[in-house]
Amino acid sequence: DTEVTQTPKHLVMGMTNKKSLKCEQHMGHRAMYWYKQKAKKPPELMFVYSYEKLSINESVPSRFSPECPNSSLLNLHLHALQPEDSALYLCASSLRTSGRDNFDTQYFGPGTRLTVL
Amino acid sequence: TQLLEQSPQFLSIQEGENLTVYCNSSSVFSSLQWYRQEPGEGPVLLVTVVTGGEVKKLKRLTFQFGDARKDSSLHITAAQPGDTGLYLCAAPRMGNSGGSNYKLTFGKGTLLTVNP
């Protein structure tokens, strides 16, 4: 089973709303990722959690707040977003192998299509 | 800076034609992944190549990793409308030992349209 699930599938929110995106995997992966993707562009990394600790924050604005409650769950809390934040938000996970070769394939979820009005 | 140059950026062909997508870099990678993404969906992993010169086949798709592990190609035989999508190559960035700063470098993608 190489499935990463994300909810909701679609989300429309106003600039004053607070909402959360959820991601779940049961593959025993210990690294989880949030990406933002604009139409016809490659995904852009936002955050990486490794063993439930925030490992990478790619200078993401504070209106995006990640949370990793346990090894299977990853949330992205949204507050005071801007229309330009509208995009497909992708969650991914990987086994997080140790060692120098970095052979650590990432598996993506179906994404949440976010529209900020 | 490790860059993956993908070409062509756009490709529109008729059903039944063959095509090749290229992913090139001046950097050496330990592995390389190919993903296909349909509109509104997440990227789906097609293959991971690891060994220089490796060739992998997935039905009508043939993937090759260059001998020097700097480039890769994806060849589709007898394309079908179901092959339509954004094809992305991706490779891990060479970070600190142990992969503590593991990140993926993505190519810009090839948007393939197969017309019936």
Interface test with A, best of B102, B110, B111, B113 (most A CBs within 10 A): B102
Which of A49-53, A104-108, B47-51 is predicted with the least confidence, judged by mean pLDDT? A104-108
Output the CA–CA distances (angstroms, integers) from residue B17 to A35, A77, B11, B34, B79, in the order listed.
34, 45, 12, 21, 6
Chain A residues inside the 8 Å CB shell of B92: 102-104
Tell me which residue has tokens 């993506």.
A108
Neighbours of A7 (CB within 10 A): 13
Mean pLDDT of the A54-83 span: 95
CA-closest candidate to residue B101, choices A74, A89, A28, A104: A104
Mean pLDDT of the A39-45 span: 91
Residue B39 pLDDT class (50, 70, 90 cuts):
confident
pLDDT in tens, A3-19: 999 999 999 999 989 99
Q: In DSSP terms, which residues pair with A30 in a beta bridge?
A: none
Chain B from 59 to 78: CB within 8 A of any A CB? none
Longest alpha-carbon distance in chain A: 45
Nearest-CA distance A113 → chain B (Å): 7
Question: If you write DSSP's letter for every residue of A17-62 in order, what string do you get?
Answer: -EEEEEEEE-S---EEEEEEE-TTS--EEEEEEETTEEEEE-S--T
Minimum-distance CB partner of B92 among A88, A102, A109: A102
- Judged against a pLDDT cut of 90, whether residue B104 lies above it is answered with no
- Judged against a pLDDT cut of 90, whether residue B53 lies above it is answered with yes
CB contact under 8 A, B103 and A56: yes
Q: Which residue of B has its CA nearest to A56?
A: B101
CB contact under 8 A, B43 and A108: yes
pLDDT in tens, B78-87: 999 999 999 9
pLDDT (0 to 100) of residue B95: 57
